[in-house]
Structure 1
Amino acid sequence: MALQRENLKMVGKLCVIALGMFAFGYALVPIYRHICEALGINVLAVSELRVPGAASLPANTQVDRTRTITVEFDTNARGPWHFKPAVRSMQVHPGELATVMYEFQNIQNHTMAAQAVPSYAPKQAAAHFNKLECFCFTQYTLQAGEKKEWPVAFVIDPRLSKDVSTITLSYTFFEVGGKVPPAPAGDAPQARGAESLKPTGDV
C-alpha cells in the first residue's frame, strides 16, 4: 500500500509539472510580444509599436520613389523552341524588388538540354542590375513538349546613373552542345531560381 501511495504522489507531482509547463508555454507568446514592444526589437514596422503619433515607414527605405526605370525584356532562341517573358516591360523604382516570369517550351520531339545567357543595354546598367533569382548560366533538361516557367527577381541599384531611364534585359537561349557565347563582362553566374527544374550541370 505504501508503494502505491508513493506512486500516486509521483503521478500527482508529474501532472502538476506538466500543467505548469503547458501554462508557461501558453503564456510565453504574449510575454515575448510585450518584451519586444517594450524594448523595440523584432518589429517589422514602426506602426507595430502602437505608439500614438508614430508615422509608418515604407517596408524598404532604400527604394528611390523619385525615379522610375522602364525595364524591357527581350528574348532570343537559338533553336526550334518557344521562349518569351510573361510581360514585355515593366516600370520599377531603384531599390524596389521586382519579379518577371519567363515561359519556355521544348517543341522538339526529343529531350533537350539548354541554358540562357543574359546581356544588358545600356552596358553600364549591368553593374547595377542585381538578380536575386535567375535561371541564367545553369543547364536544364526538358522532355519533348515539356513547358516550364522561370522567375527572374531583380533589384536596380539606386546608384545607377540618373541619365539611364530605360534598361533592356535580353536573354539568348542555347541548346547545350551548340555554340554557347561567353558570359558578358561584369555579370557573375547565378544558379538560383527555377527550382522546379533539375540542373544537369554547369558549363
Structure 2
Amino acid sequence: MNISRENFRMLRKLAVVTVVMFGFGYGLVPLYKAICEATGINILALGEQVIVGNKGQMPKNTQVDTSRTITVEFDANSRGPWEFKPAQRSVQVHPGELTTVMYEFQNVQNRRMAAQAIASYAPQQAMAHFNKLECFCFTQYTLEPGEKKSWPVAFVIDSKLSKDVTTITLSYTFFEVGGKTPPAPVASLQVPATGAGS
C-alpha cells in the first residue's frame, strides 16, 4: 500500500513539474520578443516589420551590383577515363549575387577510384574576387564503378573586381588521386655476348 501511495505522490510531483515547465517555456516567448525588440537584435521581428512595410516583399540585397553583368564560363578537363562536365556552359551574374551551378561526373571504369578537382581562373586577377562558398573541389571523392554524381559550385563575385573584366572562365581539372602508376623501370645488367672466336 505504501508503494502505490509513493508512486502516486511521485506521479503528482512529475505532473506539476511538467505543467510548470510548459508554462515557463510558454511565458518566455513574449518575454524574449520584448527583450530582443528593446535591444534591437530580434532579426525575426525586423523581418516581419519589413514584410508588412513592403506589402509582402522581402528586402532587396543591397550588396548586389545590378549595374554590372559578368559572364562566367565553365570548363572541365579530366585526367583519366571518366566523364566530367558542367551542367551548363555559362551563366550571367551580377557582382554580389549568389549563384549555384552543377558539375556532372561519372566513373566509367570497372574499378573504384578516388579523385579530386583543382580550379583555375582566366583572367588570373579574377581568382581573388571569385568567392566559392561551396565547391566539390574542397574534397576528395571516392566513386564506385559506373557511379554518377552531380556536385554544386556556389559562388559570389566580389564587386571589387575590375570593371574591365566582363568574362571569367572557371576551369576544373579532375584527376585521380593515388591511381595506378606503372613501376619505375629497373636497369638490368647486360653481359655482352661473346663470340665463338674470343
For normalisation by structure 1, the TM-score amounts to 0.72
Structure 1 residues 111 and 51: alpha-carbon distance in aligned structure 2, compared to 1, 3 A threshold: closer
Percent of matched pairs sharing the same residue: 72
Post-superposition Cα deviations, 1:113-152, rounded to whole Å, max 9, x if no partner, equal 2221111111110111111111226432211111111111
Residue 194 (structure 1) aligns with: none
Is 1:156 paired with 2:137?
no
Residue 42 of structure 1 corresponds to: 42
Q: Which residue is equivalent to 2:193?
A: none
Give me the whole-angstrom Cα distance separating, in 1, the residues matched to 2:14 and 2:177: 66
Please state how far the C-alpha of 1:43 moved relative to its aligned partner. Answer: 1.0
1:158-197 matches, within 5 Å, as 158-177=159-178
Give 1:9 deviation, angstroms. 7.8
The higher radius of gyration belongs to 2
Is the partner of 1:136 in helix, strand or coil? helix
Residue 28 of structure 1: aligned partner: 28
For residues 155 and 99 of structure 1, the distance between their equivalents in structure 2, rounded to whole angstroms, comes to: 9
Distance change (3 Å), C-alpha of 1:39 and 1:51: farther
Aligned residues: 177
CA RMSD of aligned residues (A): 3.3
Q: Which residue of 2 aligns with 1:185?
A: none
Partner Cα separation in structure 2 for residue 73 and residue 155 of structure 1: 15
TM-score, structure 2 as length reference: 0.73
- Asked if the contact 1:99/1:153 (under 8 Å) is kept, the reply is yes
Q: Where in structure 1 are there 5+ consecutive unaligned residues? A: 179-203
**Secondary structure of the structure 1 residue equivalent to 2:48:** helix
User: Helix, strand or coil for the counterpart of 2:137?
Assistant: coil
1:129 matched residue in structure 2: 130
Q: 1:10, 1:105 → 2: CA distance?
A: 62
Counterpart Cα distance in 2 of 1:116 and 1:98: 20
Within-5 A mapping of 1:1-203: 15-43=15-43, 46-49=46-49, 57-58=59-60, 60-136=61-137, 138-177=139-178
Q: Which amino acid aligns with 2:94?
A: H
